[in-house]
Chains A and B, each alone.
Chain A
Amino acid sequence: MKKLSLILSIMITLLSIILSGCTIGNQQNLEVSKISVAEQFGLAYAPLQVMKELKLLEKNLPGVEVTWKQLGNTAAIREAMVAKEVDIGFMAIPPFLIGWDKGMDWRIFSGLSKSPVGLVVNNPHIKSIKDFTGKDRIAVPQPGSVQHILLSMACEREFGEPERLDNQLITLAHPDGMNALFSKNDITAHFTAPPYLTKELEVEGMHQILSGSEAMGKDFTFIVGVSTSNFHDKNTKAYKAFIKSLNEAMAYMKQNREATQILLSKAYEMSEEEIEKYMTLEGVSYDNSVAGVPEFAEFMKRNGYISKTPQSINEILWEDVNDEK
């Protein structure tokens, strides 16, 4: 009996430590002048680099303490936002919808960029996704990624079976996928975005058989900015300052092309020519419009990736979002 009461008292102590520890964590996040932002690596996130370098947020919200995190994949950003470590995150639309469907309290506040994405093959005989045999392997960054969803959309259109190629997918991060495509051992095709897409297409023998907008049937926003309700509701000043700074960064990029290229070439450690080539690539644009959410949501619901679609677009967009119909 003594033993049991000892155990119980230990458990109760542990329990109270866990529960009290959490409330302290919450309070810290409510301080007005702290923002934590998570992004991934790549030129699709360029306006954020401009914002960082020009210190636009610091200008619009004096005294702000901003933390920029660069995480390896979307799942990590989502997890950091659930854990309340990150207020604002940037990602593609399908991973956002998966989180929303699972009950995450967050919405899109802005578009960030449009970008070409494409399916590149290393076998000259493959001209369309119809030519894949059961032996061909296709690399995508991960299941549920925008590339995977786009491939399923194309399969639905061609075969009427969205999951047709699912058993031939292999998960590789962009750089690994590119190397595997070049080595021709493991995979036949790689669904990727610039700079990997442009690098792959420059190599002889590689060609693109499907683009993102072909798969979707229209243009869509590649990366969107997402904010937790907690941050939007309780930290309105910082939320507004962030959007203002982001819009200023995009305007700066349009008005000062050369200065932007110099700035980005430093941030990405790439030559100015490479940056220029990418910025002028067809399909690349940086603006705050959000396009493609209803199309993604409807497709993902129809095929069981998510369990519901938003009743109205306002369930997943914050107010004043530039919603491109």
Chain B
Amino acid sequence: MMKNKKLFWSFLIILFWQVISMSGTFSSLILPSPYMVIKAFLESIMRGELLNETMYSLIIILEGLFIGTFFAFLLALASIRYKIMEDFVETLIAIAHPLPGIALLPLIILWFGTGRTSVVFVIIHSALWPILLNTTTGFRTIPRIFTDVGHNLGVRGIHLISTIYIPASMPFIISGLRIGWARAWRALISAEMIFGAVGGKGGLGWYIFKQRVFMDTAGMFAALIIIVIIGMLVEDLLFERLEANTIEKWGMTVK
């Protein structure tokens, strides 16, 4: 049902768009028609350019997200294990979480140059703090009775974490990953638009910027379509499945 609703609304939006562009109020440089956009989209796919740039962006974001998630869990675990780490992590989040990655760009360029490393750094920064914040909140809100039962049954150390802490705070972890992914994706596109390409490859953000300087408005829309598609796929395939296989299966939701 959900999917049909999305399809229905998408169709209506495209129809609306087509009517506006056919009315001739805007030049096609401002608002190309859906037909022109689809044509530009297919042409760019055929050239291989759009897919190459998309792959480049996806590989970078996976790399950044992986490192970011790893450190977020490490810090979250440390903060439940040691009281002193808990204070430290709280301070870290208070300092770093409100800082937009893009605001840090000038500094990052100074430290790491304008290459790939800098983009990965921006992604790690964007993903790490929301994931860490949600995970620590999740750990902290586990009912005391769960951990007590674990202790009574003799569950200790790493087992306590994998069988009680992580499953019990799964809703928080998933929403942390969701926010982390969305923030990282936005940061990636913005950073790519600013950095430009190295060796001809610059990702989707760069692709949009390149269409801009060559005034290919339909091409810019084509890149936006890819971004929307990826966003929907990740939501439907990754997060909804993750939810279905964990919190829904374990009866943690009202559904």
Enumerate chain A interface residues (CB-CB to B < 8 A): 7, 11, 14-15, 18-19, 22, 74-75, 78, 82-83, 95, 98-99, 102-104, 137, 142-145, 166-172, 176, 180, 185-186, 305
Chain B residues within 8 Å of A172, by CB: 114, 196
8 shortest interchain CB distances as A-B pairs: A171-B196, A167-B200, A102-B215, A144-B213, A186-B113, A82-B29, A142-B213, A22-B25
B115 within 8 Å of A (CB atoms): yes
Q: Report how many A-B pairs have Cβ atoms within 8 Å.
A: 71
Enumerate chain B interface residues (CB-CB to A < 8 A): 12, 16, 19-20, 23, 25-30, 109, 113-115, 195-200, 209-210, 212-216
Q: A82 touching B30 by the CB < 8 A rule?
A: yes
Identify A170's interface contact among B25, B28, B196, CB under 8 A.
Answer: B196
Min CB distance B46 to A, Å, is 16
Min CB distance B90 to A, Å, is 36
Q: B23 touching A19 by the CB < 8 A rule?
A: yes
A83 CA to B215 CA, complexed, in Å? 13
Q: A103 touching B29 by the CB < 8 A rule?
A: yes
Q: A144 touching B30 by the CB < 8 A rule?
A: no
Beyond the given pairs A22-B25, A98-B214, A143-B214, 20 more chain A to chain B contacts, judged by CB atoms under 8 angstroms and listed by A's residue number, are A15-B20, A19-B25, A75-B213, A103-B27, A137-B198, A142-B196, A142-B209, A142-B213, A143-B210, A143-B213, A168-B199, A169-B200, A170-B197, A171-B195, A171-B209, A172-B114, A172-B196, A176-B109, A180-B114, A305-B214
Q: Which residue of chain B has the shortest Cβ distance to A183 in the bound complex?
A: B113
Min CB distance A54 to B, Å, is 34
A305 CA to B197 CA, complexed, in Å? 18
Q: B200 touching A170 by the CB < 8 A rule?
A: no
Min CB distance B224 to A, Å, is 16
A187 CA to B29 CA, complexed, in Å? 35
A103 CA to B27 CA, complexed, in Å? 9
Q: B16 touching A11 by the CB < 8 A rule?
A: yes
Chain A residues within 8 Å of B210, by CB: 143
Q: B216 touching A102 by the CB < 8 A rule?
A: yes
Chain A residues within 8 Å of B200, by CB: 166-167, 169
Q: A185 touching B113 by the CB < 8 A rule?
A: yes
Q: A22 touching B26 by the CB < 8 A rule?
A: yes
A169 CA to B114 CA, complexed, in Å? 12
Known: A19-B23, A170-B198. A102 touches B29 (CB 8 A): yes
Chain B residues within 8 Å of A166, by CB: 200
A75 CA to B19 CA, complexed, in Å? 28
Min CB distance B198 to A, Å, is 6
Residues of B contacting A: mostly: loop
Known: A11-B16, A185-B113. A104 touches B25 (CB 8 A): no
A176 CA to B215 CA, complexed, in Å? 24
Min CB distance A160 to B, Å, is 20
Min CB distance A92 to B, Å, is 12
Chain B residues within 8 Å of A98, by CB: 213-215
Chain A residues within 8 Å of B195, by CB: 171
Q: B12 touching A7 by the CB < 8 A rule?
A: yes
Known: A19-B23, A75-B213. A186 touches B114 (CB 8 A): yes
Min CB distance B216 to A, Å, is 7
Min CB distance B89 to A, Å, is 33
Identify B25's interface contact among A14, A18, A144, CB under 8 A.
Answer: A18
Q: B213 touching A83 by the CB < 8 A rule?
A: no
Known: A170-B198, A172-B196. A82 touches B27 (CB 8 A): yes
Which of B23, B209, B214: most chain A Cβ within 10 A? Answer: B214
Chain B residues within 8 Å of A95, by CB: 213
Known: A171-B196, A172-B196. A15 touches B215 (CB 8 A): no
A11 CA to B14 CA, complexed, in Å? 12
Min CB distance A287 to B, Å, is 28
Q: Which residue of chain B has the shortest Cβ distance to A11 in the bound complex?
A: B16
Q: B215 touching A171 by the CB < 8 A rule?
A: no
A82 CA to B26 CA, complexed, in Å? 10
A285 CA to B12 CA, complexed, in Å? 56
Chain B residues within 8 Å of A7, by CB: 12
Chain A residues within 8 Å of B29, by CB: 82, 102-104
Min CB distance B197 to A, Å, is 7
Q: A75 touching B212 by the CB < 8 A rule?
A: yes
Q: A186 touching B115 by the CB < 8 A rule?
A: yes
A82 CA to B30 CA, complexed, in Å? 7
Chain B residues within 8 Å of A137, by CB: 198
Q: Which residue of chain A has the shortest Cβ distance to B200 in the bound complex?
A: A167
Min CB distance B28 to A, Å, is 7
Q: B215 touching A170 by the CB < 8 A rule?
A: no
Min CB distance B192 to A, Å, is 11
Chain B residues within 8 Å of A82, by CB: 27, 29-30
